[in-house]
Structure 1
Amino acid sequence: MGAQALVGHAQDKQDKGLVKYVDPMIGTARMGHTYPGATAPFGMVQLSPDTDTIPYAVDGKYTGDVYKYCAGYQYEDKTIVGFSHTHFSGTGHSDLGDFLIMPTTGELQLNPGTAENPESGYRSKFSHDNETAEAGYYKVKLDDHNITAELTATTRVGMHQYTFPEAAAAHIILDMMYGIYNYDEKTTWAFIRLENDTLITGYKSTNGWARTRTEYFAMSFSKPVKTYGFKMYEKHPYRGFWGRFDQENNFPEAANEKIRAHFDFDVAAGDKIKIKFALSPVSTANAIENMKAEVPGWDFEAVKAQTQAEWNKQLGKVTVDAGTEDDYKNFYTAMYHAFLGPTVYQDVNGEYKGLDQNVHQAEGFTNYTSFSLWDTYRALHPLFNILQPARNQDMIKSMLAHYDQSVHNMLPVWSHYANENWCMIGYHSVPVIADAVIKGNADFDVERALEACINTANTRYFDGIGEYIDRGFVPEDVSRASVSKTLEYAYDDWCIAQIAKKLGKEEVYKEFMKRSESYKNVYDPKTGFMRPKLANGEWIKEFDPLDTHWKGFIEGNAWNYSLYVPHDPESMIEMMGGDQKFVPHLDSLFSMELPDKYFEHTEDISRDGIIGNYVHGNEPSHHVVYLYDWTDQPWKAQDKIRMILKAMYKTGANGLGGNDDFGQMSAWYLFSSLGFYPVAPGSNQYMLGSPAVNSATIRLQNGKEFKIEAKKQSDKNVFVKKVELNGKEVDKTYITHEDIEKGGTLTFHMSNKPNRK
């Protein structure tokens, strides 16, 4: 299917543009942790259904459900609790789920009920047969209430449309207690105010994964509220003069740790109740301003069309001849998932809440939040340097603002709604900054950015950095996951060296290049693996290179992490015995069969996302298959890349082989489908692989186009006979960022036999 066929195919599907290929249901089952609801590209509002209430603990014991419901929705569930306005996409940790709304009819019920007994509360059964999910739009029939729910969203405003097929007493429930991280204890304070008979404002403060987070809202109804009430579940011994009022029935405001509200209407058959729900990190006044700016009217279809037009614009940055219908779905759903975050975190007037909990003004940039950097530095931010360069610069400016507001003298580790969550290891803002600098996408103060990187790398109390600086490695008896930390710090230090070199700072360059060789200090030549060391310099005695249970490693084992030297593969391969030993070692990674005992701790690793001992569902392995490009057998990468693409990325709710991790899994898919991959962000090189598309056109911000052609590409022709750039044969296993930015054509000549030369 060529370019003309693609156009014709679009017209066959009601001319919806590329949005027709996006299936937000992909990844909503098992470990994908994606949500199916409505959002705009990088939107602050993610308006989506939630399918269960999540207690953090039962009888004092951790239940694990907090992991299962990271996105609030699991495809296997049979009931919907309601529709909340904030969600993570594809993460391995949960939070958010702010401001749950649920429409109901009949007798008012203010508790959510249970999945086993939904009629005991306001939740409802539903069927996937009556569910539609598109980019920017979601629709479902709530069977127990016979209500059709429709959702769409702009950047800062969620819009609901509830259609009632019968005359009824209708209720809109606003549950201020609900939250994805911890339903029972997460909300620390909530406030609701009835401004008039169609406008409600308020805020909610939570202590969840983000230890202190406050979100403000403004909610507007399309028709006046008839009656309303608040249910407050914490009764304070001293209520002062407030005790003289009946605060639960038609009283204009409520404040409590735990509140649920109801707003009541009379509806006729076919009536629609519409809701505009705007968010703000700063104030209810700003939320109202956001609403007026982004959704001034009540035309639901117009808002949906506007958001889907914006999605088509963003998806149109790459057009492909992908092959089959499923291939198109996988490609454009991956682009959709890649463009969900990080998310905008500022009001239309530029105000946002900073890490210091004060209100700041974003001057000359858009502020972003939710940086899952341990995941996304690897491929998502490099993808942005090609497809979203202006946004990526704003994201880095947001990181630098975080640094300025930090008392820890550090760039973000896992930045989230004016909080630092300290999740995972490394200081991986650094490679994001370095990649932008090296690739010439650095419209920010690079000198200041380098200073921030250096100070972050020298924050001695963070996760064994002091020991790493003094000893050249992190000791396992000082800080667990010590090998993983040592290897990731070494790579981050190499990135700092690249920025210093670019700026001509020779001494800084030498210092951090020396630190970047620290990976050698945890390599044990006797076992042939990276191995944990103790503070006395001795190797840890109990060592199993397949063990994943935190003995030196995190989200991987010695087999996986021994290959984590993305900045110096040549030296790593030589250290491990050269091509003669390294290639068989790499081969075996994909063919091993792991005993069940290595899957007992599913919070560390599970069989989802695993091929042999290659763990595609966890990010430390994402570059591994491309390491063949540094050996004398680069062709061995090619069929394996295609095998991974087929095995780990499919259509359907269970289509992702692991958490999408805020777009990192999807970015891997996009790069690898196009035929190249950024093994070491901070370098200008993209290693060549085996393209899965027949052709593609990348539309660059500079107005040029970079095209990919795969001649004779098929499921059998997975090997590359030769590669040409603008008609000239490429004699290397990589192309550069400059090659892409200049525009032109990269041509792969495919074959069913490897080119062993």
Structure 2
Amino acid sequence: MINRRSLMGAASVASVLPVQSLAAEDDLCAHVDPFIGTGGHGHTYPGATLPFGMVQLSPDTSNNGWDSCSGYHVKDGSIMGFSHTHLSGTGCADMLDCLVTPRTGAVVLNPGEPGQIEGSYRSRYTDEVASPGYYAVTLTDSRVRAELTATLRTGLHRYVFPAGEAGHLLIDWAHGQRNWWEKSPATKLDNTSLRLIGNDTLVGGRQVFMWAGGRWIFFALKLSRPFSRAELYQNDAPVGGNAAAGGKLKCALHFDDAGSAPLLVKVGISAVDIDGALKNLEAEQPGFDFEGTRRAAHLAWQSELSRIRVDLSDPNDRKVFYTAHYHSLLAPTLFSDVDRRYRGMDNQVHRLKPGEENYSTYSLWDTYRAAHPLYTLTQGPRLPGMIGGLARMGQESPAGAPIWPLQGRETDTMIGYHSAAVLAEACVKGVPGVDYKAAYKVIRKRAFDDDVHGFGLYRQLGYIPADKVDESVSRTLEFAYSDWCASKLAAAVGAHEDARKLRERSRNYRNLFDSYIHFMRGKKADGSWVTPYFPQSLGHDQKRWRDYTETNGWQATFLNQHDLYGYMQMFGGEKAFESKLDALFNAPSDLDHGSLDDISGLVGQYAHGNEPSHHVAYLYAYAGALPKTQSRVRMLMKAMYRAEPNGLEGNEDCGQMSAWYVLSALGLYTVDPVSGVYVFGSPLVNRARLALGNGRHLSIVAEGNGPDKVYVSGMRLNGKAWSRSWISHDTLMRGGELRFLMSATPNPAFGARLADRPPSFV
């Protein structure tokens, strides 16, 4: 164990220097391109939403394919309609609730498939426009111009039909994501209902049994003018009356005068009940003021984006940066009604106390790495709600510590128990308004009692055996990191014996390190290594097991985030560890047969397209080779992010892919978020100004920066020389000026002394 210094030490500088404003009048929304990531494997959506908004009103091009996890992909070629809930950049599929499709001609109930327009209610499209809080498109087959905008809990549509023609709206309440790998994929629903109220309102509810199994969703839809007639359908057969329940429900609202004036449609949603959806609609969208709502959405985004203002020489870099910042602010999503009611993880309805907030959509395996650390810098007012809500989930959920909570349900997706990382980071950084003792009770139960995903074997043997549990290597390593995080939370709440045990257990990574070949590999329950072993492989027996989670032996060997100095010794010291890092980046990029699409963005065997690699380029700093971090990080920013639909090398994953870029472009990254430490890289920005949310600002200056000036020759904090390759969160939050002195040649002395390297395992 290396325990060389406190995180503060002599680094604290209390003075706050004045910093220059960066183009305060600039319209930052103009630099955002929501279409970045809608191609390739980015899995983003281009529609209208607000920062962390509950409604994501966006076009659906497909609900049946991995690359359409968000409901949209640029290659699909046709639009089914516009639904109100979407996931940003995930690898699993759900949502797409309350599809509204404007059409002319006869009612068609068949949704069709991409490339199969005839006989379906799909339409080809042209003239797409998207900016934060706004989306527009022309549906060429339907000849309707559609525009979308949103508030936190409502969506507002504006449709212009062909002049002088009739038209209708089809509301497909059977529509949702499907499991594309099944033989006959379908959206699994129960408790479905639709009901007409008067001649201008439609309400409905349903329970969805897809990824977030058993989640509830309700909607209330109101029209700017009455419909001429309405038709309800059950299992694609017309039914009489004003209400229908059970089966696959749809509704057609007809307008004989559709082309006489724009038709506006407002929709409120709720996970509680129809009354909640109506209240959300009345509170946030009392009228049909499309331009006013659009302006308010624009201003909300301008306010959020302006928390980080940057000067970048390349306009494409500026577009990539602000789009990345935009994408990082889409999740977690608000998940409570205006009357403070919400549906908890126990499937019961609860009411928040005044001032509390509730959120959903925590992709914790991804976002603990960079998205949540970014929020601790710029989202201070929201943190008590985000972190407090996560702690509350653990208390309410029958599943215990949150893993991947979505819409009041636990998806139990991915590995480790990384709610411990987010809670511990918040505690270490002093986020107020969170009951950390109550949160630790939930984390402690997972750490010491629960037997999930091989955790019982992990506690018994010190590792998960590869012949008993799949993905055993990754599970062991990530349980070890979660143990480290839990130990920090335990220490903070006074559970010191727990902290000691968890701290020691967090070194279980040693049990799967093969000191002969210097790779992490699978081990059987009897203690023998699994064979055959190839570091570019997913594991020893891919038909039954994989030894790794969305990685291979190369990438998993660098999963250690918390005990770097202890880990280096297993390779033979820091130089040997540095050489192993070099080997990772220089290895052939060949992948074993049967590899996963998630292993993407390859540089050698480093895979930037998936989160387990995101900290790896910064590990050189711990070995005293900071210039290699600088050159690698600058290369990754330029190679892995582009201002085009196929501009992300992997899934966006609820903001993590983008948050890596935002932090790295500022010259900072959190290898171990619960340490409260940021490691320096190579800033892409010339200057940046961060509003820290505490009345202070941080100015970042990259003096002499340029495409060929990727190295940092030295640094200054508030005018004073700074020799360390890292900085603490507390120091950053004091504000002032952090100045990087950029150079075309490396300075191997900067950050090389052991005393100047980032702390680890402290």
TM-score, normalised to structure 2, is 0.92
Matched, 1:647 2:639: yes
Q: Could you list the per-position Cα deviations for residues 209-260 of structure 1 after superposition, in whole angstroms to 9, with x for gaps in the alignment?
A: 111111000000001011111121178xxxxxxxxxxx625x2111121012
Q: Do the aligned residues in 1 keep the contact of 2:178 with 2:186 (CA within 8 Å)?
A: no
Q: Aligned ranges for residues 716-727 of structure 1 at < 5 Å?
A: 716-727=708-719
Q: Which residue of 1 aligns with 2:5?
A: none
Shift of 1:599: 5.3
Native 8 Å contact 1:548 1:604 kept in 2: no
Partner of 2:581: 586
**Between the two proteins, what is the percent identity of the paired residues?**
40
Residue deviations 1:34-75 (CA, integer Å, cap 9, x gap): 000000111111000011242xxxxxxxxxx2x121001111
Residue number in structure 1 paired with 2:754: none
After TM superposition, the structure 1 stretch with the greater mean CA deviation from structure 2, 364-373 or 688-697, is 364-373
- Cα distance in 2 for partners of 1:185, 1:121 equals 18
Equivalent residue, structure 2, for 1:436: 426
Q: Deviations over 1:462-497 (max 9, x none)?
A: 111111111111111221111111111111111122
1:96 corresponding residue in structure 2: 95
What is the letter of the counterpart of residue 574 of structure 1? Answer: Q
Q: Does the Cα contact within 8 Å between 2:166 and 2:259 map onto a contact in 1?
A: no
Count matched residues.
720
Aligned pairs (5 A) from 1:326-725: 326-363=316-353, 364-408=355-399, 410-549=400-539, 551-595=546-590, 598=592, 600-603=594-597, 605=599, 608-725=600-717
1:317 alignment partner, one of 307, 323, 341: 307
Contact 2:232 2:242 in 1 (8 A): no
Structure 1 counterpart SS, 2:679 = strand
Alignment correspondent of 1:186 = 188
Inter-partner Cα distance in structure 1 for 2:99 and 2:697 = 44
Letter in 2 for 1:124: S
Q: Give the Cα separation in 2 of the matches to 1:209 and 1:494.
A: 29
1:37 aligns with 2:47: yes
Aligned to 2:458, what secondary structure does the other structure show? helix
Structure 2 CA distance for partners of 1:114 and 1:462, relative to 1, 3 Å: closer
What is the CA–CA distance in structure 1 between the aligned matches of 2:495 and 2:427, rounded to whole Å? 14
Deviation, 1:573, is: 1.1
Q: Note if 1:22 corresponds to 2:32.
A: yes
Give the alignment partner of residue 152 of structure 1, picking from 149, 153, 177.
149
* CA distance 1:401–1:536, change in 2 (3 Å): same
The 1:69–1:228 alpha-carbon spacing in structure 2 relative to 1, beyond 3 Å, is same
Q: Letter of the aligned partner of 1:151 in structure 2?
A: L
In structure 1, the residue matched to 2:208 is: 206
Q: How far 1:748 sits from its partner (Å)?
A: 0.3
Letter in 2 for 1:170: G
Q: Is the 8 A contact 1:534 1:540 kept in 2?
A: yes
Give distance in 1, aligned partners of 2:258 and 2:521.
Answer: 70
- Aligned mates of 1:502, 1:248 — CA distance in 2: 61
How far apart, in 2, do the equivalents of 1:650 and 1:163 lie? Answer: 34
- The answer as to whether partners of 2:665 and 2:685 remain within 8 angstroms in 1 is yes
Distance of aligned partners of 1:107 and 1:668 in 2 relative to their CA distance in 1, 3 Å threshold = same
Shift of 1:378: 0.7
Displacement of 1:498 in angstroms is: 1.6
Q: After TM superposition, give the deviation of residue 185 of structure 1 in Å.
A: 3.9
Query: Which amino acid counterpart does residue 368 of structure 1 have in structure 2?
Result: Y
Gap change, CA 1:206 and 1:268, over 3 Å in 2: closer
Contact 2:88 2:330 in 1 (8 A): yes
**Taking structure 1 as reference, are residues 604 and 677 closer, same or farther at Cα in structure 2, changes over 3 Å only?**
closer
Say which SS state the counterpart of residue 416 (structure 2) adopts. Answer: coil
Q: Any stretches of 5+ residues in structure 1 without a counterpart?
A: 11-16, 55-64, 236-246
| 1:585 counterpart SS class | helix
TM-score, normalization by structure 1: 0.93
User: Structure 1, residues 171-221: CA drift from partner, whole Å, max 9, x if none?
Assistant: 100001111234624223421101111111111221111111110000000
CA distance in 1, matches of 2:658, 2:252: 40
Q: Deviations over 1:480-524 (max 9, x none)?
A: 111111111111111122223334433122111111111111111
Instruction: Confirm whether residue 46 of structure 1 aligns to residue 56 of structure 2.
Output: yes
How far off its partner does 1:379 sit? 0.7
Amino acid at match of 1:43: G
Name the SS of the counterpart of 1:293 in structure 2: helix
Show the counterpart of 1:61.
none
SS of structure 1 residue aligned to 2:350: strand
CA deviation vs aligned residue, 1:280-330 (integer Å, no higher than 9, x gap): 011111111100100111110100100110111111111111222211111
Amino acid across the alignment from 1:76 = K
| Alignment pair present for 1:163 and 2:160 | yes
Distance 1:270 1:378 in 2: 52
Displacement of 1:269 in angstroms is 4.3
2:249 is matched with which residue? 259
Amino acid at match of 1:358: Q
Asked whether the 8 Å contact 1:189–1:258 carries over to 2, the reply is: no
Per the TM alignment, residue 6 of structure 1 is displaced from its structure 2 partner at its CA by 3.5
- Pair 286,593 (structure 1): closer, same or farther in 2 beyond 3 Å: same
